[in-house]
Amino acid sequence: MAFTGTHETSRHGGGRPAPSGGGWHRLGNALKTTVLLAGLTALVLAIGQRLGGAQGLMYAGFFAVVMNFGSYWFSDKIALAIHGAQPLPYEQAPWLHQMVERLAARAGMPKPKVYILPTRAPNAFATGRSPKHAAVAVTAGILDILDQRELEGVLAHEIGHVRNRDTLIGTVAATLAGIISYAAQMLFWFGGSMLGRSDDEEGGGLPGALANLGLLLVAPIAATLLQLAVSRSREYGADAAGAELSGDPDALADALLKLERGAELMPYDRAPATSHLFIVNPLHHGGVMSLFSTHPPIPERVRRLREMGVRAGGARRARGGWEYAY
């Protein structure tokens, strides 16, 4: 598919690199990352212990180490492969590559690789263990519904995730959360028999079955809540970074409103454990289920972005553009 000429040339120049956000922000991200990984790993170990006692605990510990190691080195490839993302050649969309390159330069980082997902559901995400090993992916649908200004805001948001070092922990969390949900189901159906644990051992019989059922119910919810503790705050941080890098908070706000509507009309349920990677929740759970969404409410995100636009308006008018408004 060809995307050449779909959008007009950006009205923003290269600008100067945006500030990096400060050491306290990075320290806060590091602490949240440590808490999340420790909590998810503890759940993996607890399920392993229930499945096979000491032997199960040993296997679970080994498995958690392997998965964390694999997620670290191959996080970008894992996320992209799960969603069938394909590299987008430069000649098919030079304007899109130039937009990514310009935003990455403002962020003071190398240009991420650019991928496209073959789905009409409008969305985007970023992945990679560091700014030097990062990728941004957009769906075919997002190119249809956003104009150039809005798309630049979305890409700035994703590059903000990369700059803030959010992408690595997002993919690792998705991997571990998927493992926890799968292992909890194994625990319910097979108990300790898979690892040779008999009902005569401690925790067997009816009490053991009830404990397994409780863990089956609690483990996925606990994994989701641990993800929420980090994912929601990081979306706000990436929104602020995106507004800073693009110089146009209202563009990102407009894009979020369109993408929310797109998620309502075309939910994207491939690999639900990775839903927090996307700029808007592709599953679009409304009502009570929105309490368990990995994304903060779109109206609140839009409100904050609108306030940024109002605060920066004076600087924009005084300096003749958004580039130096922050």
Q: Known catalytic residues?
A: 158
Neighbours of 27 (CB within 10 A): 10
Q: What's the angle, vertex CA 74, arms to CA 72 and CA 80, rounded to 5?
A: 125
Phi-psi region at 219: left, alpha or beta (left = phi > 0; alpha = psi -120 to 50): alpha
211 residue type, one letter: A
Residue 199 is encoded by which pair of tokens? 């009902």
Residues 6+ apart with CB under 8 A from 55: 195, 196, 197
- Read off the DSSP letter of residue 194: G
H/E stretch holding 311 reads helix 298-319
* Element spanning 18, H or E: none
Q: How far apart are the first and last CA of the chain?
A: 37
Furthest CA-CA distance within the chain: 78
Nearest to 182 by CA among 215, 211, 218, 220: 220
